[in-house]
Structure 1
């Protein structure tokens, strides 16, 4: 494996976080706050400079810098993960007393339709609740979190609507 490939392989652990913005409090990067992608680009630039050097003194300086940049970014990502995990623990959860039957698909069509409609009402309630949480969110991370939850719930609602439509068609055909 070449040096460049080895660096890319090591930097792959940061891929899930490339769009996230973090702050790093060391002077081994050009800026303290930027996206993980920008930090990764700087590490790649340092590796590129290091691969072209022939003088031992300069190579030692850039290899130390490369290691420091990598470890510092790792620590920054760990802080980001811990912060995200804490935020998720503190976020409210939607509560409902309704429990879905285990094998709703095996029910007779009229009962299945009734259960799908209950689920649709619940999903509509959840969407309203998520929108409210999004309005009340204080940080951009929280707003983004609730936006993603809204998209997920909208997708589930659409699947429920499709199931209702399919079940209604099935009922019409059987009559």
Structure 2
């Protein structure tokens, strides 16, 4: 019974968070009167979060009360916690070192954390992380006209 109520509570909390994020994103002032603005992606992300939260909530409501859920393994808990630490460091690091190096470092570290030890290929991860960060920087700066943090690279 506890697992069911936890699932329902988590779904409801995420649904409320998605609503708050969507409202906050719609309040972002745009530099341009037309096209994609700074609030577009947060609105899309909050809508996706809302959809996933609704799925979690419905799953909790449909789950039989006597259904037993498997506990999360300690390795999984460690991975989630480390991912949250990396995401927080990425957010703080962007202001200091800029988007491009922070994104490359974050992606490399996240690839390393999420891959099983026998499949870790640091050179491959570094190339993908650098390429992805550069492409993301180009798309946001050139296509959408958004200014990303430059940090020390001014």
Give the TM-score normalised by the residue count of structure 1.
0.33
Comparing both chains, which one has the higher relative contact order based on Cα–Cα distances under 8 Å and sequence gaps of 6 or more?
2
- Larger gyration radius, structure 1 or structure 2: 1
